[in-house]
Structure formats: structure tokens, C-alpha cells
């Protein structure tokens, strides 16, 4: 059974392994011990904080095999981005060049540099190790965050967004960044991506062009990947689209991968999840659920079968499931049918 729980310092070796396996373009997991340990510390502090509104908290969780104890991946939430350091993006829009006298009417796309998601909640750092990409594991890693948001909405913004990994080749090079590098920077994509991951973002504001960039002036290769996702990211994008997330024209400044967003109350898993009182017993139900306890500091979520009784608003959990969720009889859990 896969169980989602808050990260601890003992998980550092596994987090480092996830950072190595995630590869280029996975900015939120830099292969840097200081940054990874700082992120663990920040997450531990965030889970312990008593907050009334979203702030600089960052919640990092891991998936753990309840039998072997092996950490299988990571998933995270940044409560409100851009409050302690800028969060940059490009917005794709259109401008019209029109001359009535010459009867010329051209509509062109432009990229405008900005920090439009400041204060919004970001879901991030979703990585499941390849050998565990089966069954409901991927859904659990992603949707456990929405169960948390449904139970503790005051900790998160009204707008939830995710940056999707953009197109890069096997060497980690981005066609979009190659064009920017040629004209504005002198460092390659992997170095820029790494510097951002470890918090050195000042160079972006210093060197990034401040005026809108006409898309038609970019190389054909760069134009072709704007708003496109890496092949490995397509399943994650599809899952979020099924939740109601949509791209509103914002893309990443490094690889031009799309940013998708949704109002917290409109996320399908938030809308369709419900609470029930726990009864611990063996049962014969084959109905699969994603289930989370109602604790925050000791948050747990898993995927398992359960028997829900609508008439009594109770749910029958096996002893193993109850132990994984750290709940007892008459406690409440939040469920999402699969």
C-alpha cells in the first residue's frame, strides 16, 4: 500500500535520489544537498505552523510503500508563490498592427514578462519513480494534494496552478531557451534551470528582456515548443485537465512549458470529495477510493478499497488501511471515489 505523508529529515537520501532520477528541467528538485535539506526543513516548519491564510509555507510530501518502507516519489504544494522571491513567467497575448490607409491588418503574438501568479498556490514537485508508475499510485500522488486542500482550504489561495515541464532534448537542452540564450544570456539551459532551482533568480530579472517579445521573431524551433509539454509530463497534464485545469496563456520563461490553473472550489477532486466516520472492520467491497485523514501536521493519504454507507455516513476500513491513515474508530476521513 502506498501512503502519502509529510517529508522528514530521514527522507533526504530518497529525496536526493528522486532529484537525480527526475532529470533536467525539474527545477523544484535540484541535485544540491543544501537546497534539498533546506526544503525539507522548510516543509517541516510549514506543517507545524498554525496559519489563517496562505503565506510562504511549502508543504513537501513523499509516497512510501507501507510494506517495504521505500520512498517511491514526492509531491508538494507552495501555499503562495512570489512572496519571498519573484515568480516569473511569460504571458502569451496578441497585438494588432493596422493601417487603414494601407489596408494592412496583422495580428501577432507577443510574450510579456511578468509575475502574474504572485500570491497563488502552486502544486509542484510531483515525481513518481518509474518502477511505481502503476495502478492508482500516480493519481494518489497528485490528488492527495486536492484532498488536503478540500479539508484545509484556509491554507491555500483561491487560484491553484501548476507549471508543466516543457520540451527539452535528451541532453536537457530547450529549443526555446536556445533562442533566449543566443540573444540575451551566456549560460546554457541546464545551468539556468539549476540556478533557479537553488534560489539564484536575480540573473533572470537582470538579463531577461523587459519589453514584449514578438513570437514571430523567434526561431522556428523555439516557436514550435511554446505551450508544449515534455513527453514524460503528458500523463500529469491530462490528469490536471480532467480536474478542470486550463492554460490561460502563461508559459515558463525557460522552456515555455504551459502553466495550467483552476479555482480551488472548481477542482473536481475538491468538489467530489466527502467526509465519513470510520468503522474499522474487514469488508468485501471492491470500490476503490483515495482516502485522507483530517489531520494536517500528521497528514496521511492512501488508495484502498472501502465500504461507504451513505445512510449512516460511515465508511468501513480494514485494520491495515486504518493504520496507514493513522485513524481510529469514530474519526473522520475524506474520500474520493475512483
Residue 77: inside a domain: yes
- Please say whether the beta carbons of 4 and 47 come within 8 A: no
Q: Is the pLDDT of residue 145 over 80?
A: yes
The region of weakest confidence among 40-54, 86-100, 151-165, 269-283 is 86-100
- State the catalytic residue, choosing from 16, 230, 283, 316: 230
At 279-314, the pLDDT tens digits run 999 999 999 999 999 999 999 999 999 999 999 999
Whether residue 297 is found in the same domain as residue 227: no
pLDDT score at 197: 60
How confident is the prediction for the chain on average, in pLDDT? 91
Q: Burial of 299 by CB count in 10 Å (0-12 exposed, 13-18 middle, 19+ buried)? A: buried
Give 265's DSSP letter. G
pLDDT score at 198: 54
Whether residue 19 is found in the same domain as residue 166: yes
Q: Is the pLDDT of residue 190 over 70?
A: no
Chosen domain end from 250, 269, 288: 269
Chosen domain end from 269, 287, 304: 269
Residue 104: inside a domain: no
**Average pLDDT score over residue span 244-250:** 97
Greater confidence (206 vs 125) lies with 125
H/E segment holding residue 142: helix 137-151
User: Helix crossing, 189-197 with 175-184: angle to 10°?
Assistant: 90
Residue 109: inside a domain: no
Chosen domain end from 251, 269, 287: 269
Q: Is the pLDDT of residue 39 over 70?
A: yes
Q: Measured between alpha carbons, how far is residue 162 from residues 117, 209, 287 in Å?
A: 10, 24, 30
CATH of the domain at 153: 3.40.630.30
Q: Is the pLDDT of residue 105 over 90?
A: no
HSE of 90, CA atoms in CB hemisphere, 13 A: 29
End-to-end CA distance of the chain: 16
- Specify the number of domains making up the chain: 2
* Per-residue pLDDT band at 169 (split at 50, 70, 90): confident
- Domain span at residue 157? 2-89+115-269
Q: Is the pLDDT of residue 193 over 80?
A: no
Residue 100: inside a domain: no
At 269-284, the pLDDT tens digits run 999 999 999 999 999 9
Whether residue 305 is found in the same domain as residue 172: no
Tell me the chain's radius of gyration from C-alpha atoms: 22
**Average pLDDT score over residue span 13-37:** 85
Whether residue 247 is found in the same domain as residue 316: no
CATH of the domain at 296: 2.40.40.20
The C-alpha cell at 100 is: 487603414
Residue 200: inside a domain: yes
How many Å apart are CA 128 and CA 141, to the nearest integer? 8
Q: Is the pLDDT of residue 200 over 60?
A: no
**Average pLDDT score over residue span 187-196:** 65
Whether residue 205 is found in the same domain as residue 310: no
- 62, 286, 237, 297 alpha-carbon torsion, rounded to 10°: -30
Residue 283 appears among annotated catalytic residues: no
Residue 68: inside a domain: yes
**Average pLDDT score over residue span 214-233:** 93
- Percentage of residues in the chain with pLDDT exceeding 90? 72
Residue 97: inside a domain: no
- Percentage of residues in the chain with pLDDT exceeding 70? 92
Whether residue 228 is found in the same domain as residue 148: yes
Greater confidence (275 vs 183) lies with 275
Whether residue 286 is found in the same domain as residue 183: no
* Per-residue pLDDT band at 315 (split at 50, 70, 90): very high
Q: Is the pLDDT of residue 186 over 70?
A: no
Whether residue 243 is found in the same domain as residue 284: no
Whether residue 250 is found in the same domain as residue 289: no
- Dihedral of alpha carbons 169, 174, 176, 179, sign: negative
Whether residue 216 is found in the same domain as residue 295: no
DSSP strands (E only) in the chain: 2-6, 58-65, 71-78, 89-99, 104-114, 121-128, 159-163, 213-214, 246-251, 258-263, 274-280, 288-293, 301-305, 307-309, 314-317, 332-337
pLDDT score at 100: 81
CB-based contacts of 329, cutoff 8 Å, min separation 6: 278, 279, 280
- Please say whether the beta carbons of 117 and 87 come within 8 A: yes
Whether residue 227 is found in the same domain as residue 80: yes
Of 274, 278, 262, 267, the closest CA to residue 314 belongs to: 278
pLDDT score at 28: 77
**Average pLDDT score over residue span 123-135:** 93
pLDDT score at 232: 82
Q: Is the pLDDT of residue 56 over 90?
A: yes
pLDDT score at 83: 92
Residue 99: inside a domain: no
Q: Is the pLDDT of residue 182 over 90?
A: no
How many Å apart are CA 251 and CA 93, to the nearest integer? 11
Whether residue 168 is found in the same domain as residue 313: no
pLDDT score at 24: 64
Amino acid at each position: 500500500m502506498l501512503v502519502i505523508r509529510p517529508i522528514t529529515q530521514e527522507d533526504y537520501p530518497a529525496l536526493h535520489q528522486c532529484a537525480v532520477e527526475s532529470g533536467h528541467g525539474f527545477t523544484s528538485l535540484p541535485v544540491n544537498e543544501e537546497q534539498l535539506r533546506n526544503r525539507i526543513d522548510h516543509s517541516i516548519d510549514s506543517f507545524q505552523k498554525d496559519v489563517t491564510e496562505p503565506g510562504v509555507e511549502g508543504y513537501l510530501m513523499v509516497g512510501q510503500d507501507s510494506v517495504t518502507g521505500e520512498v517511491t516519489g514526492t509531491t508538494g504544494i507552495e501555499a503562495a508563490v512570489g512572496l519571498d522571491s519573484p515568480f516569473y513567467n511569460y504571458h502569451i497575448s496578441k497585438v494588432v498592427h493596422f493601417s487603414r490607409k494601407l489596408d494592412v491588418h496583422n495580428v501577432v503574438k507577443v510574450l510579456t514578462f511578468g509575475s502574474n501568479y504572485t500570491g497563488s498556490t502552486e502544486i509542484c514537485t510531483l515525481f513518481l519513480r518509474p518502477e511505481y508508475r502503476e495502478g492508482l499510485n500516480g493519481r494518489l500522488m497528485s490528488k492527495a494534494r486536492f484532498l488536503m486542500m478540500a479539508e484545509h482550504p484556509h491554507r491555500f489561495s483561491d487560484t491553484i496552478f501548476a507549471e508543466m515541464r516543457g520540451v527539452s532534448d535528451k541532453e536537457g537542452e530547450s529549443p526555446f531557451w536556445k533562442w533566449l540564450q543566443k540573444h540575451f544570456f551566456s549560460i546554457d539551459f541546464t545551468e539556468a534551470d539549476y540556478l533557479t532551482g537553488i534560489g539564484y533568480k536575480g540573473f533572470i530579472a537582470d538579463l531577461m528582456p523587459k519589453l514584449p517579445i514578438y513570437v514571430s521573431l523567434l526561431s522556428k524551433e523555439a516557436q514550435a515548443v511554446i505551450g508544449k509539454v515534455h513527453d514524460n509530463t503528458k500523463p500529469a497534464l491530462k490528469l490536471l485537465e480532467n480536474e478542470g485545469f486550463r492554460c490561460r496563456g502563461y508559459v515558463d520563461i525557460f522552456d515555455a512549458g504551459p502553466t495550467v490553473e483552476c479555482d480551488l472550489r472548481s477542482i473536481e477532486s475538491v468538489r467530489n470529495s466527502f467526509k465519513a466516520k470510520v468503522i474499522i472492520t474487514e469488508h468485501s467491497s471492491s470500490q476503490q477510493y483515495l482516502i485522507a485523514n483530517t489531520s494536517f501536521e500528521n497528514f496521511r493519504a492512501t488508495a484502498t478499497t472501502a465500504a461507504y454507507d451513505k445512510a449512516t455516513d460511515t465508511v468501513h476500513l480494514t485494520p491495515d488501511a486504518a493504520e496507514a491513515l493513522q485513524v481510529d474508530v469514530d474519526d473522520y476521513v475524506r474520500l474520493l471515489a475512483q
